[in-house]
């Protein structure tokens, strides 16, 4: 029996990519699941597959759009009405906004902030009291290697939002260790998923060498193991850890110049 057996996990953005991989990883380790995303049909398909693969596993689906400021509270209320106590929170929902800052309407940026920054914080705020009371909790905030390196031109707010999640996770982890709650910022680099299709950067990133990529399953496995061990920040993959270490020792001016030179290879500068 693993520590996740008989525990309930909430996974946001579970309809694809890293979120779906986390749902599969946790189900394999015995956790029951509440999976949420906007695409209800994908959630239903995932729930049926996991329930069939793991007899006795409970999987609840809740369609929600975390760009709605009321969604986190409504989601937690729905979970409570179903008599479920969440011990594991995977804050994964996210996406990128392509192009330069002024190329997009403000509302699109506001929605981005709501999904990638406000919603994870609110979900943690609403679910932490129960975790503290039960003296067990796991929160994995899916950040990014981008949060450790200088910001790039294009996708202006993405790295900033991930750096925010990293710092938030660090403080939250130190505040909650005494309650048996582990908080980890999981920081993947380039990962095979739908992310780059949605942002329109697939033609660019497809030119990146294969050794820079990880699968969603590898990220989820390594990220969850790190969360269980009590690591506060986990950059997944040796290549990504090397990049983080290199950037850390470079002078800021050199790091910025390097990112400026290479950003056109992986960031959409203006929307199509």
First to last CA, the chain: 50
| Whether the Cβ atoms of residue 120 and residue 39 lie closer than 8 Å to each other | no
| Whether the Cβ atoms of residue 120 and residue 210 lie closer than 8 Å to each other | no
Q: Report the length, in residues, of the chain.
A: 272
Q: Which two tokens stand for residue 255?
A: 């790091």
Q: Are strands 190-192 and 8-12 parallel, antiparallel or unpaired?
A: unpaired
| Whether the Cβ atoms of residue 81 and residue 1 lie closer than 8 Å to each other | no
Identify whether 158 is a catalytic site residue.
yes
Residue for token pair 């525990």: 7
User: Which residues does 45 contact at the CB level (< 8 Å), separation at least 6?
Assistant: none
Residue for token pair 């129960």: 130
A 10 A CB-CB count for 130 gives 15
Q: Which residues are 9's β-sheet partners?
A: 33, 88
For 136-175, b/e burial (b = at least 16 CB within 10 A) is bbbbbbbbbbbbbbbbbebbbbbbebbbbbbebbeebbee
| Element spanning 51, H or E | helix 40-53
Which residue is catalytic, options 101, 125, 136, 158?
158
Q: 241 burial class (0-12, 13-18, 19+ CB within 10 angstroms)? A: middle
Q: Helix 119-134 crosses helix 158-176 at what angle (to 10 degrees)? A: 20
| Residues assigned a catalytic role | 158
């Amino acid at each position: 029996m693993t520590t996740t057996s008989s525990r309930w996990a909430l996974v946001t953005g579970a309809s694809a990519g890293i979120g779906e991989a986390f749902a599969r990883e946790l189900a394999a380790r015995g956790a029951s699941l509440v999976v949420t995303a906007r695409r209800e049909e994908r959630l239903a398909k995932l729930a049926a597959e996991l329930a069939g693969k793991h007899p006795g596993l409970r999987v609840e689906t809740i369609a929600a759009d975390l760009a709605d400021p009321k969604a986190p509270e409504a989601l937690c209320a729905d979970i409570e009405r179903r008599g479920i106590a969440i011990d594991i929170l995977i804050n994964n929902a996210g996406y990128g906004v392509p192009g330069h800052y002024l190329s997009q309407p403000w509302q699109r940026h506001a929605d981005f902030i709501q999904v990638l920054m406000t919603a994870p914080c609110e979900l943690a705020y609403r679910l932490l009291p129960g975790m503290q009371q039960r003296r067990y909790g796991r929160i994995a905030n899916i950040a990014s290697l981008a949060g450790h390196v200088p910001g790039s031109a294009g996708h202006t707010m993405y790295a900033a939002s991930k750096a925010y999640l990293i710092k938030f996770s660090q403080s939250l982890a130190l505040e909650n260790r005494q309650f048996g709650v582990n908080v980890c910022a999981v920081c993947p680099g380039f990962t095979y998923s739908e992310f780059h299709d949605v942002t329109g950067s697939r033609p660019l990133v497809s030119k990146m060498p294969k050794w820079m990529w990880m699968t969603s399953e590898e990220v989820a496995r390594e990220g969850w193991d790190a969360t269980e061990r009590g690591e506060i920040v986990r950059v997944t993959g040796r290549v990504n850890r090397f990049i983080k270490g290199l950037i850390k020792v470079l002078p800021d001016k050199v790091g910025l110049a390097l990112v400026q030179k290479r950003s056109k290879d992986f960031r959409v500068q203006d929307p199509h």
